[in-house]
Chains A and B, each alone.
Chain A
């Protein structure tokens, strides 16, 4: 189908700040990326890099104040989300775009049965009557591997992995076109993580859902995504097809992330961590944000911000030395 190649979601020059006292936190700085139908893009980066802020700005659920979108356009199927009214956004949230939050323990309402929580979204976004919505909710529970007679139970009666599956059932109930998965498995044990990742992958294939996967786990990225954007201090510093990025990482930060992983450097007893810690987001360096930690830093890096360069087709990197031998 020719439609499969069409750009489905487009984020252009997204810029978000948080105001805190007199200081402004530069959370997202001119982030742009595209997503095709049925594809998964992974946003990878450390705590505070701005990954969740990017996802929340797409849904427009950032609290204002302190958050403020300074600029940028977000287009979903040709419709600009940033210019929609709040009523129109309500229709999109949970309908066309759904989000899986990081912590299943706090994402569910403890005073409502899980069934009612799934039904709530279904009634809002569809023409179902109550019975039809309940049936659909039960169907969704079965789909994620929870027996439908647990429909009437409360979140505390479920374990962490099951709660996360309830959250996934809720997110997928209205057949969203776009799924924002914010660290969907970080709070879970590895064996449960494996179950949940398989589930998300299968459902995605079944419904051809596009996904933005936010994670700091490169293993999860390798298994789940098609393209990868590495986020550092609110900027995308490297962007490529998954295979290309894993085989040929180009930015020193991306390389550092791989070097920090135990088990990657077989036979070598010392890890190669990235020195220092991420920059203060209220006072970002003038030049490259990674320069203070970069082992290859040059004067130019400190003076001016490097541009995004295409070093091979589809592989973009924000580094002066990108594509050159280091």
Chain B
């Protein structure tokens, strides 16, 4: 049984000009100790997907199943229990920490709310353990977030997310606000923690080299929908969807001897408000034909490799 199953999840927002289909009919599952990468451009709904799964927002339709139990619409005490099992690390370590609470207090807060730690000494011991786990010096216990650099702040965010031994963590672009040298430290930390605690990650990012490095499986999103889903190795070796191809070829390559041949896209991501029934990528797709105006289905091309494009046999 997978740790987490997401079935036909939808999250719509009503806006003045119509309905924003931020997450539209997405399904996948995550095994224990695995990392699922979710990639896509800004505005494709990847953060909304993460937030809807961990119940920061209520789903419009579909199901989220954790350990075999449907948690899509839980409330009250049950929701609190679910929250202990699912946590999130936010993108911006500058705005996701309360500037008026010391590091110690930030990490301690979830521990206190859980009610599992009765005495102050126990709390202190546990915060010490967490700080050591993520590599924050003991001397920074009483520091405020503004005294820390981005990398250390993100470590605090990670310690806070880990505090209650969650089984699943949504990492919402946790390293994109950090410099490369610091980014590598944080990525290593996340991978080490996964080795020791068997926690599962959903790693939301727009950076394909990061996602390739950390994920077991990858979902590629475009305008609220999944366009391609496969194991990391398969996706990079046998890229099928034209959008995934364009995304991969757009990364500036550091290998100066083998510059990437670019599949260039025209235009920009279109509006997710009341999209038509056809392929949402068709407007930018160099291979689009009239067939693309019909609704697209996610098809399993080879074992575990799903693609939503009617033309892949002709293109590839």
Contacts and interface: CB of A to CB of B under 8 A. Distances in A.
Question: A interface, how many residues as a size bin?
Answer: 35 or more
Interface string A270-299: 111111010000000000000000000000
Interface in B126-184: 149-152, 179-184
Contact of B252 (A159, A197, A242): A197
B252 A257 contact: no
Which of A47, A162, A189, A198: most chain B Cβ within 10 A?
A: A189
B188 interface: yes
Contacts, number: 111
A189 B180 contact: no
A195 B252 contact: no
Interface string B245-263: 0110111111110010010
Contacts of A190: 41, 206, 208, 247, 250-251
A191 B181 contact: no
A219 interface: yes
Given A195-B265, A198-B264, A273 B188 contact: yes
A216 interface: yes
Contact of A274 (B181, B206, B212, B254): B181
B302 interface: no
Contacts of B180: 46, 216, 218, 257, 260-261
Contacts of B206: 189-190
Nearest to B213: A262
Given A260-B184, A271-B184, A191 B41 contact: yes
B283 interface: no
Interface string A225-258: 0000000000000000011001100000000111
Interface in B257-312: 259, 262, 264-265, 268-269
B183 to A, nearest CB: 7
A198 B249 CA distance: 13
Interface string A207-231: 0000000001111101110000000
Interface in A12-70: 46-47
A259 interface: yes
A259 B181 CA distance: 8
Contacts of B184: 259-262, 271-274
A91 B50 CA distance: 51
User: Most chain-B CB neighbours within 10 Å: which of A162, A257, A261, A269?
Assistant: A261
B196 interface: no
A48 to B, nearest CB: 9
Contact of A263 (B188, B212, B259, B265): B212
B260 to A, nearest CB: 9
Contacts of A269: 191, 213
A194 interface: yes
Contacts of B250: 190-191, 193-194
11 contacts: A161-B268, A190-B208, A190-B247, A191-B246, A194-B249, A194-B250, A194-B264, A222-B255, A223-B253, A260-B181, A273-B183
For the complex of A and B, list the 4 residue pairs with the smallest distance between their C-beta atoms, beginning with the closest.
A219-B252, A273-B184, A262-B213, A260-B184
Given A189-B206, A270-B191, 16 more contacts: A46-B179, A189-B269, A190-B41, A191-B265, A193-B250, A194-B249, A216-B180, A218-B180, A219-B252, A223-B259, A246-B256, A262-B209, A269-B191, A271-B187, A273-B182, A274-B181
